[in-house]
Amino acid sequence: MKHVAVIGAGTMGNGIAHSFAQSGFKVRLIDINEISLKKGLDTIVLNLDRMIAKEKILVTDKVNTLANISTFTDLKDGVTNADLVVEAATENIELKLNIFKQLDESCSKKTILATNTSSISITQLASITSRPDKVIGMHFMNPVPIMKLVEVIRGYNTSNDVTKTIMELSKTLGKVAVEVNDYPGFVANRILMPMLNESIETLYNGVAGVKEIDTVMKLGMAHPMGPLQLADFIGLDVCLSILNVMYDGFKNPKYAPCPLLVNMVQAGKLGVKSGEGFYDYSESKKADKASSQFLK
């Protein structure tokens, strides 16, 4: 396996492309317009420069990594001859179903179709294709070039061979692959999101303020980042989407999103990406400082 296509040049997509390219794979990064692609590549360059500054890689590693990445705005052209496609588009079921339908029509029958979804059913995405045995989840963690975990999620029909291939492939990226089964939220978000939601409920009920809640969890539970700050970095819209998927999937009220989270998303306060969430990121220096702390 040498040729990988990544769909989506956003935070997760450019991180996935970066990781594959740095590991020697030829990567085709695909997005709907050149602006998104340029922003994605700029992020990859910035992250490579940070790694050089920390003496984790050499300048030649940066040059080789960037040389391994090509960009496309046409999905069909971008996935031609790909051994693996990793979809990293917005966490929206209709969008992902449409992408997987196109991928099934455009890719070789041998191509493995993976999704970076953090909660949406692999089995449901596979059902829109003629190759459900070759559809699998690869849930990377943010920031992708640094975080070691990859949740490898088997759909109901995912074959043993495809699962083994993706488990081994993840190891070549320097990741630790953990195989899980296809249930809403998988493992990571099934455990993480209720904690974040409960933190928001604690704020909503007036038990304590934002900084106080985060301080208790950082100093008392040894978390590197408080839950409300972490929610800001994930994106409050993403947190809401994942909670809704789990609530719809399990019909259990413990997964129902807090009204404060719903209102903040409706008001456009999405966290770092919008400049404001539980914390204020409106000044670029604040955002850069927060990002650098997160990447340490």
* Beta carbons of 140 and 130 less than 8 angstroms apart: no
Phi, psi of 153 (to 5 degrees): -105, 120
Instruction: Mark the binding-site residues for NAD(+), compressed into ranges.
Output: 8-13, 31, 91, 96, 118, 142, 273
**Choice among 14, 87, 151, 197 that is catalytic:** 151
- 143 upstream amide cis, omega within 30 of 0: yes
Active site residue 189: yes
DSSP string, 48-80: HHHHHHTTSS-HHHHHHHHHTEEEES-HHHHHT
Instruction: Mark the binding-site residues, compressed into ranges.
Output: 8-13, 31, 91, 96, 118, 142, 273
Active site residue 118: yes
Active site residue 223: no
Q: DSSP letter at 162?
A: H
**Choice among 14, 121, 189, 274 that is catalytic:** 189
**Choice among 36, 68, 119, 139 that is catalytic:** 139
Q: DSSP letter at 42?
A: H
Active site residue 284: no
| Residue 238: closest CA among 169, 139, 101 | 139
**Choice among 116, 118, 170, 199 that is catalytic:** 118
Strand partners, 3: 26
Active site residues: 118, 139, 151, 189
